[in-house]
Each structure stands twice: as structure tokens, then as C-alpha cells.
Amino acid sequence: MGRIVCAGTHYLIYDAVYVPATADTPLTAADILTRRELQIALLIAEGKLDETLITLARGNSRYPAEMEGDLMSLAACNAIGVGRLREMLREFPLGNLTPLCDQIVSRSREAAIAAIAGLPAGTTTAEMVIDGYDKPVALVATTTISSDLIQVDFTGTSGLS
């Protein structure tokens, strides 16, 4: 038996809808929409699809068909990723993937900083107002670009409606 040199998985983050217990209960943002997370690695065990997990995910989604499609596409991505990783490890028998992962993160960071450096420095604020439950909701973002950093400040954005 081999040893683990790298472990990872995708998560599907989806919206789950909840209905208030009674018609007299006022709706809140938490009643309407809650973020949920599903680890794709749990979807297939020993080559078999977990139909219970699919049914559970479909039942907790506003878009059950799309949810199932997203699950299947992420499972396919994982399968391809596993296959490619196995091919790479046959070609380059690495004992540990941490240095490779560190290099990928480092180069990605450097590329992002270089891209930011090409943007004009300055500060811009944008605001929009959308319908809320009780009252309109202001969404405000002030973006500041410096030589190697982008900061976004949401001061002025409304609280929960």
C-alpha cells in the first residue's frame, strides 16, 4: 500500500431555502437563504454514488436539477484530477507535494501582485441601493489600489434588512 503524498477535495457551497414555521412568523434573511457546504469526496465511496446524499442536496436547494448537475461536474473534476495526479506521480516520483504546492502559491501571488502593479493607483467608491425586506439596502464599496494591493472597504453598507 502506498502512502498519501497529497490530499484535497472540492466543496460545493450552495444555497438552502427555509420556510418559516407559521404564516405569522415574519421572514428574515436567515429564513430565506442559508449557505451550505458539501464535501464532494463524500459523494462517491468505493466507486458507488451515494444516492441519499444526492437526494438530500436536491431537497435542500432552490434549484435541485442544477444542484445535481453541479455535484456531478465536481465529482468528474475530482476524478480527472486524481487521474492526472497519479500520472504525474508515476512520471515524477515525488515523496512530498508540499514544495510543489508552495511554489504554485508563491508564483500565483507574484503574478497577482504584478497584475495589480499594472493598474492605476487610486480610490473609487461605488454605491447601489436594492430592495430589502423592511427597507432599502445600501451596498457601498470603496476600492483602493496601491502598488501591490487592492483593498475593499464596505463602510456605509446597510446592516441586515
Domain ranges of the chain: 11-96, 116-161
What percentage of the chain carries pLDDT values higher than 70? 74
Q: For 142, left (φ over 0), alpha (ψ -120 to 50), or beta?
A: beta
Higher pLDDT, 127 or 33: 127
State whether residue 17 is helix, strand or coil: coil
- Per-residue pLDDT of 8-21, as tens digits, reads 555 555 544 444 44
What's the mean pLDDT in 107-125?
94
- Give the C-alpha separation, 50 to 27, whole Å: 34
Question: Which residues, including other chains, have CB under 8 Å from residue 56's CB and lie 6 or more apart?
Answer: none
- pTM tops 0.85: no
Mean pLDDT across the chain: 78
- The DSSP call for residue 124 is E
- Per-residue pLDDT of 82-99, as tens digits, reads 889 889 888 988 888 888
